[in-house]
Amino acid sequence: MPPVYDDPEFFEGYRRLARSQEGLAGAAEWPAMRALLSDLPGLRVVDLGCGYGWFCRWAREQGASGVLGIDVSEKMLAEARARTADTGIDYRREDLEHLELPEAAFDLAYSSLALHYVEDLAGVFRSVQGALAAGGRFVFSIEHPIYMAALHPEWVIGANGQRSWPVDGYLVEGPRTTNWLAPGVVKQHRTIGSTVELLLAAGFTLTHLVEWGPTDEQIVMRPGLAEDRERPMFLLVAARRI
């Protein structure tokens, strides 16, 4: 995973996002992610792609016994450390492509919108499986493959006047290069099927699969979210280590 988050232009754009400024409350899909998380008191938690550490601090507030936040970006980790005054949270620089975690050391693994940058997703799933205690939970979100597949991921108007989201190359997995926040950001496109199959093969049971969309209330507050009903932007997954 190239540390795109260390690219100055990308980092500056990221810094301005609602989810960076406001934390979890600034992420529209957070309430749905929250619903996938069990009670946290006493849990040992690892956050893969922790960014500014919003989730790490929230998990401790919820009673997690300890949290390890991992990110590949030194800038992100510096921000996270500057915002954290809690010895129960550790931050560590690590590349998700070569993740090394202690055995059976966690009860919950969490990752928000980071795993779609990873080429070796099977490797991450294996690492997380080994790092979780038996019965441990894994909850993550990625960009939805419908959102990511197309060569030109921008709304199109059909001959009939209907506005729709283009899907092409859906079953052609591999890198997708976009200009989100900075030019040339590379994401890894995978079908939902592939993500689920990799998860099952790594020794997980699937417990939830959510193609996220906004609630009516969210659309009233932020009308722009309505387009996330037309084509999903996020995929939320919950699994349990067998």
What are the residues binding a second copy (CB under 8 A)?
146, 150-152, 154, 156, 158-160, 162-172, 191-194, 196-197, 200, 205-211, 213, 228-232, 235
Q: What are phi and psi of 224, to 5 degrees?
A: -60, -20
Nearer to a second copy, 111 or 195 (CB): 195
Q: Write out the DSSP string of 100-122.
A: ---TT-EEEEEEES-GGG-S-HH
Shortest distance (Å) from residue 192 CB to a second copy? 6
What is the residue type of 205? T
Nearer to a second copy, 102 or 193 (CB): 193
Nearer to a second copy, 170 or 180 (CB): 170
Instruction: Output Rg (C-alpha) for the chain, integer angstroms.
Output: 18
Shortest distance (Å) from residue 235 CB to a second copy? 8
Shortest distance (Å) from residue 187 CB to a second copy? 18
d(CA 150, CA 166): 6
Shortest distance (Å) from residue 227 CB to a second copy? 9
Nearer to a second copy, 21 or 164 (CB): 164
Name the region of 65 (left: φ>0; alpha: ψ -120 to 50; beta: rest): alpha
Nearer to a second copy, 186 or 209 (CB): 209
d(CA 82, CA 72): 17
Q: Which residues contact 126 (CB under 8 A, 6 or more apart)?
A: 202
Nearer to a second copy, 78 or 242 (CB): 242
Q: Give Cα 57 to chain centroid, integer Å.
A: 17
Please report, to the nearest 10 degrees, the dihedral formed by the alpha carbons of residues 26, 70, 1, 9 taken in order: 50
C-beta separation of 48 from 128 below 8 A: yes
Strands 132-143 and 106-112, sheet pairing? parallel
Shortest distance (Å) from residue 41 CB to a second copy? 26
Shortest distance (Å) from residue 145 CB to a second copy? 9
Nearer to a second copy, 93 or 208 (CB): 208
Shortest distance (Å) from residue 205 CB to a second copy? 6
Q: Which residues contact 52 (CB under 8 A, 6 or more apart)?
A: 20, 23, 76, 79, 80, 83
